[in-house]
Every structure is written in C-alpha cells, then in structure tokens.
Structure 1
C-alpha cells in the first residue's frame, strides 16, 4: 500500500503540474469506485485544480468552485484512497494528441489541461480485490478515514511527548505504528523499516518499552520517513514504487541477508499480509512464530 513518503512525492509531482489546471474529463467505468459523492462526479469537469495534497495515505485533488454553478458552486475535493494495490499512471501530451487505450482494468481516468498541455491520469488497481476508492466531498475531513486520522507522522507539532503517550496499552508496536487513528501515514513497509532501524521487535508490547526505546523509535521514525520523502521527491509515478522497493532493507526481502548483521531476513505471515524482520538486529536471535510467540 502506498504510504506517507510515496503519497508525499506523488502529491508534489502532481501539484507542480496540475495547480491551475482545468479538469476536462472524468471517466468512472464502475460506480463501485465512488464511495461518497457530495456532488455528481460530472460536476468536477470545468473546475480548476487549486492544489494537490496529502492527508495520511490519501491523495487529494482540491478543486475550486465551478465556473458556472453545476449543482454546487462550492469548492470540492476529489480524494483517492489507493488501498493495497492501487496507484496511478501519468502522461502529458500536446493538445489533441491521442493517448491510446490503457489496457486492462482501471478505476478512473482523469484529463486535465494546463498551460498548453494535456495531462492524463489513470487510477489503477492490480489487486484481485479492487479496493481503490474515490470520494467527492466539500471538505477532506468529510471522508471518514481522514476524519479519524491521528497526528501525521512527520508533522512538526507531533513531538516525543505526544508520541510517548501512545505507549500505554498492551499492543504490539508494529500494530501501533500502522494504526492510522494513532499515527497517520505509516503502513506495512515503512513500519518494518523503522523497527529494523530502531532495533526493536515487531511484536514487542508497546506498554513494556523502556523510555529510551520509545525515544529511539520516535527519532528513527522521523529520520527514516523524512529521508524517504527526500529520496522520492521529484520522481514521477512510474519511478516512485521501484525507488521505494530498492530502498527497503528488510521489507519484502525474506530469505536475503540483512545488510546490517548478515543474518537471514525472516517473515511472519498472516492472512492477507506479512512482515519481515532480522532476528539478530531485532529479536536477540529468536525466530518469531504465529500469534507473536517466539521459538526457542
């Protein structure tokens, strides 16, 4: 699933090209994709993009008021939740150039015009279960997932004291980092990387961590995510995912040697998901088993 660094890079890339652009076309082949619509999706056509931004792991196209009131003259936001396997394809062409068929499944197509160029975005979902979702709302906070977000992981106002207050429950630290109601923006991949860099077990119980371990985790989270944002900044959509994958030290690298210890990277799999870790770096050499136990 795209996480904070990828969505930040994607929003910056799109904002640079689409701020001030006019939405010229929107195609939704399936009504299933559109979860909430405060206005008909056709009413977005003709609106100007004020900005493209991010809320947690959501992408937001913030649109200005309609030039001619079409059901509503209020600003609207088109919010994208990519879910597990969603992403987008981006192309820019001279006006009137045929872009051709995308081929295969797509969740939506958007066309824009800005400063003499046409821009086309295709929202794709490669998963067997199509989870990519769109929301058309007057304010991003009207999307339930955004309204429930905790503080953004990279927000300057999210400090160590507030972070430390999260570590009071008997909850595995891996799950805590991924809980969007507690911290916004971190998913399965970067939580693996953060815990590895902080030398903490993914199944460690949050309430049992010593204060110095909590502080180390906090500093690592901030530094690793900011480094990933910097590394991905300026890259196009087709480059972001490969760059993320290449940067991963443990996530998605089951069976490979840990770049720090040389130990074999292990995986703990659950229904529909899995995570990776280094026994030497994170669990004192113990191999994790299902349900968070360890094998001696």
Structure 2
C-alpha cells in the first residue's frame, strides 16, 4: 500500500506527535482570547478622565500612601526625586483600562530574563522593558550567589518593580503624575502647622539627644544635605525613629557611627587649632619686641 493510500485510510498514522507544541498553541490561543476580551471591555467602557483624576486625588489624600509616594537619592551633587512604585501602582489602578505587570520569560543558570510592561487598552500605547537579573545579592561589597527559589523570585520582583514603574509612568500622562505628587505633598504638609524647616530641625535635635545620632550621620544615610530634605524625607526619618523606638531595629542598622566620630574629631582639631596661639619664628630676624629692663636703684 502506498503511503498516500495508507494515510487516506488511517489519517492518524503519519501525524507527528506535537507534544509541547499543542500545549503552547492552546496557551497562545487562550491568551489571545483574553486580550481580545480586555480590549472589548476597554472599548465598551472607556475611562472617564475627570473621574479618574478625582480617584487619584482622593487616594493621594491618604497619609499612608503620601508617605511612600516618592523616592530620593543623590547623583553626585544633585538630589534626584521621583514617583515610587507604590504611587505608580495607585495611578494605574485608578486610571483604568491598563494591563501591566512583570513576567519571567526564562530562567537560566545564574540569571533570569524578565519583562515589565504596561499597555493602555484604549489608546494602544504600550511600554515594555526586557531585562536580565543576575541571581546574586550584594552584601558589604561582595556578591553572594542565590540558590533558594524564593530569594531568586524576590530578586527578580525587586528589579522588575523599577522597570514596571518606568513603564506605567511612560503610559499615564505626565500632568496626571505631577498632580498626584503635588497632592501627596499637600497631604504631608497638612499634618502639621509648623514649617518644614522647623520640623526637620526638631527631628535632627531629637535624634541627637535621644540616640546620639548627629546630623552628619543622617546626611550620610540619605546621601544629601539636610537643608534639601522634603516632606517625604521627613516621613522616612520618622519611620526610622519609630522602628528604633519600638525595638524593631537599632541605631547601627540605619546609621554609621564612624561618620560622626571622624567628623567630630576633625571639628575638634579645627577648634583647637583656632584657639591655640600661633608663634612664628623667623631665623636671623630682628626682635621687634622690646625687652623690659630691670629698674636700677637711684643714686
């Protein structure tokens, strides 16, 4: 019997086993149907921009969110600030009709390949970032390999959160993000009737008197001068104080005490140098200071 006749009489005789190909095709079809459903719902119920902005403003009036809505770090002599991943998630939730998340595409020996994305289902605007995460963590300048699956997952999620934040902020209009940040500032400043500068000064004095933490140690922790502290920095400083007060951590967990010692020693030497009289000896120079002669008895 020819191969064609045999295949006609028994269609399954020459079918190659598909294996994972069938499962991949079924998974791809299911994901495609889910995407179509999301797009259909987004087109059927488009966002109301005024209601979305109102929901974002209301969310930013919560002190718990406002206190974690910003990040800050120093880049050289410049302080860099921006919306945190927590604020970005709230923006995405209340803006509506967004599909966003982090996916681990592949896990190889010693590294993972992941993707962060944010897709506006209404306007078809999409931000996507593919990145590689090494299975290591830094501890005191050394790189320690990660073997526990939970540690690897947390490492990928931590690195992916920054990419996800960038994707969300790249899709949501910038003026909406600025409005949310300003509302968070108003929320934090409205909790006290004292100026920010006075509250920062009081916090620095409290750390000095209660825990022996100097201003230099706090500035070393934050990476920039206390004169540039914002409402968000003050909230972080308050959280550190509460953690130490409740016994959840100790001063050494947050601050490097050697910073204060070294700077205090330098200040002491400067003060000593200023208070000690300076004597300059010039060789072969005439002595301009008259020497007092003893009085001779009168004859």
TM-score, structure 1 length as denominator?
0.22
Q: Which has the higher helix share?
A: 2
Q: Which has the larger radius of gyration?
A: 2
Per chain length, whose mean CA-contact separation is higher, i.e. which structure has more relative contact order (CA < 8 Å, sep 6+)? 1
Q: Which has the higher strand share?
A: 1
TM-score, structure 2 length as denominator?
0.22
